[in-house]
Structure 1
Amino acid sequence: MSAVTAPAPRAWLSHALATVVLWGVWGAFSGLAPEHGFPETLVYCVWALTMVPPALIVLSMAQWRLDRGIRAIGYGLAVGLLGAAGQLILFYAVARGPAYLIFPVISLSPVVTIAMSFALLGERTGRLGAIGIVLALCALPTFDFAPGGSGGAAAAWLLPAILVMLCWGVQAFFMKAANHVMSAESIFVYMTLSGLLVVPIAWAMTDVSRPINWGLDGPGLAALVQVLNAIGALTLVFAFRYGKAIIVAPLANAGAPLATALLSLVVLGVVPGALKIVGIGLALVASMLLAIEPDTTDPDAEISQPEVANA
C-alpha cells in the first residue's frame, strides 16, 4: 500500500468540530419533514440516498480503491448497520417526542463507547472522565420523569432514544477499531452501502394508506436537512481516523446532540420543566468533562494507516 500523507496537527479536532456543527443543525431540524406529512421511514430513505454523493467523492479521492478483506467487510458492515439502525429508530423517535429531550439522551452514547474502549482496546480515562460518566448516568433518568401520569407518552420517545444511544455508542467503538484494518474512505463507503440495504425495510414500514407529501417541503426538505447528516457522518469517520475513540466520541457524539437541544430550545422557544433542565445540564457537563479529559492511551497505539491491504 502506498504511503499515506501525514495528517495536519490535531486533524481529528477539526473533523470532530465539523461534525458537531453539521449534526447540531441537522438534529434541530430533522423533524420538519415528518411535520409536513413526509413519513419518518421515507426520511430514512432520503438520508440513505444523500450518503451516496459523499461516498463517491471520497472513493474517487482514494483512486477507487475499496478494502475488500473479510475483516474490512465485517467491520464496515458492523459500523454501517449500527448507524443505519440508529438512524431509522431516531426518525421514529423525533416524530413522537421533542428534539430538545431526545438528543440529550443520545448524547450519552460516549458512555457506551468508553466502556467498550476501556474493556476491549485498553483505553483509559482519568478522574474527569470518571466524573463525566457518573453525571451522564445520573442525567438519563431525569428525561423520563413525568408528573401527572404522562410516563407512557415519554416512553414513546425515550425507549427509542435509548436504543439510538446504544446503537451509536457501539458504532463509535467499531468505527475506531475499523481504522486498524481499513481506510476511512472504505469505512464510509460501507456505511453508505449498509444504509442502502435497509431502505427496502424502511419502505415496507411506510404506512401508504395515509397521505404522503411528495412536494418540496416533503422529500425536498428532507434531502436539504439530511445532507448535513451525511456530511457529518463523513467528518466523524475521519475524526476517528486521526483521534482516539475515548476523546472523539464524547466531543462529537455528545456535543452534536447537545447543540441540537440548545438550538431547538432557541428556535422553538420551549422551556422544559425544572427536572428536565437539570437533566440537560448534567448531560452537558458530562459531555464537556469527557471531552476535556486528557488522552491517557498509549500514544504508540495510534495508527497512521490500515494494517492490511485489499484481499
Structure 2
Amino acid sequence: MKTNGTKPWLLYALITMVFWGVWGAFAGTPAENGFPDTLIYCVWALTMIPPAIYILKRNKGTLQTDKKSIAYGLVIGLLGAGGQMILFYAVTIGPTYLVFPIISLSPVVTILLSFFFLKERTGKLGTLGIILALVALPLFEYSGGSVDADSENGILWFVLAILILAAWGVQAYFMKLANYTMNVESIFFFMTISGILLIPVAYYMTDFSQEINWGFNGPFLAAGIQILNAIGALCLVYAFRYGKAMVVSPMTNAGAPLITSIISMVLLGLMPGNYKMTGIVLAILAAYLLAIDQGGEVDESDSVG
C-alpha cells in the first residue's frame, strides 16, 4: 500500500478510525442475537486471514522469518489477542462502566514508552491534542454508577483491567518498534497467526450449555462486522509505520469511539449522555490538533521498505 499524500500516517489513521468506528457501532449485535463473545473472537481471528493474504500478494512482500521478526510479530499479536481473552473474563466479574474506561487509557503506556525509548517528540499542538485525547477516552465508556465494594471478586476485575491496559499499550509500542526493521506484511502476518493460535482458548471459554445462534445473524453477521476490525488493524500497522506512536495511538483510540458515537446518534437513534458528549467534543478537538500538528510524521528512511 502506497500513498501520495504528504501525511500517509494521517490517511491510514483516519481509515482505521472509520473502520473501527463502524465496527464499534455494530460489534455487539451478534452477541445480542445469541452468538457468544468468545465465538465472535474465533470469527475475528479468521477474518484476519483475507487482509493478510491480500497484502502479501499485492505487495509481493517477502515474509521475514528471522528470529527477531518472529518474536516481534508474535509479541504484538499475543499482547492484543491475549488482552482480548482477559477482557472476556474481566467484564463478567467487574463493572463494565469502569473496566472499559480503565483499559481505554492504554495509549498512556504507549506514549510513555515511545517518549523514553523511541525518543519521540511532538509539537505544542500535538501535545495538547494528546492530552485532550487521553481525557476524552474514558469519558466515552464511563456511564456513572457505584462499585459494589463487597463483590466476591474483590479487586480482581481492577487488576485484570490494568493488565489489559498494559498489554494493549505495550502492543502499540512494539508495533511501532517492529516497523523499524520489519515490513507491514510480516507484522500483520504474525498478528494473524497469533490470533489464530488463541482460538482454542476462546473456544474452551465458551459456555455451550447455553443456546447459541448459528444462523445468519450470528456467525455470518459477526464475520461481516469483524472484517472491519481486521482491516482497521491492518491500516493501524501502516499508520504506525509512517507516524509517531505517541500521536497515532491516542488519535485512533479516541477517534474510533467518536465515530461510533456519531453512528449511534444518526443511524441507531441513541443519544449520548453528558460524559460521552463531553468526550465527543474533546475527541474532535484532539483529532484536529493531532492532524494539523507537524510533529506526527516520521522519516520513512527509518523504516524498512
Q: Percent identity at matched positions?
A: 55
User: What is aligned with 1:211?
Assistant: 211
Match of 1:124 among 116, 121, 126: 121
How far apart are residue 305 of structure 1 and its match? 1.7
Question: Does the 8 Å CA contact 2:39/2:202 hold for their aligned counterparts?
Answer: yes
> In the aligned structure 2, how far is the partner of 1:282 from the partner of 1:96?
31
Question: Does the 8 Å CA contact 1:112/1:169 hold for their aligned counterparts?
Answer: yes
User: What is aligned with 2:170?
Assistant: 170
Secondary structure of residue in 1 paired with 2:35: coil
Moved more, 21-30 or 129-138: 129-138
Question: Does the 8 Å CA contact 2:261/2:272 hold for their aligned counterparts?
Answer: no
> In the aligned structure 2, how far is the partner of 1:125 from the partner of 1:44?
36
How far apart are residue 96 of structure 1 and its match? 9.8
**1:73/1:90 CA distance change after superposition, 3 Å:** same
Q: What RMSD, in angstroms, separates the aligned Cα atoms of the two structures?
A: 3.6
Question: Does the 8 Å CA contact 1:43/1:91 hold for their aligned counterparts?
Answer: no
Amino acid at match of 2:144: A
Match of 2:10 among 10, 13, 16: 13
**1:296/1:283 CA distance change after superposition, 3 Å:** closer
Matched, 1:113 2:134: no
> In the aligned structure 1, how far is the partner of 2:9 from the partner of 2:62?
23
User: What is aligned with 1:50?
Assistant: 47
Matched, 1:76 2:73: yes
Secondary structure of residue in 2 paired with 1:228: helix
Moved more, 158-167 or 275-284: 158-167
User: What is aligned with 1:248?
Assistant: 248
**1:1-311 aligned within 5 A:** 8-9=4-5, 10-63=7-60, 65-89=62-86, 108-136=105-133, 138-139=135-136, 144=142, 146-147=144-145, 149=146, 164-295=164-295, 302-305=301-304
> In the aligned structure 1, how far is the partner of 2:194 from the partner of 2:231?
16
> In the aligned structure 2, how far is the partner of 1:276 from the partner of 1:53?
34
**1:226/1:140 CA distance change after superposition, 3 Å:** closer
> In the aligned structure 1, how far is the partner of 2:98 from the partner of 2:292?
24
How far apart are residue 78 of structure 1 and its match? 1.2
Amino acid at match of 1:253: N
How far apart are residue 228 of structure 1 and its match? 0.7
When the two structures are superposed, what TM-score results if normalisation uses the length of structure 2?
0.81
User: What is aligned with 1:309?
Assistant: none
Moved more, 250-259 or 75-84: 250-259
How far apart are residue 259 of structure 1 and its match? 1.4
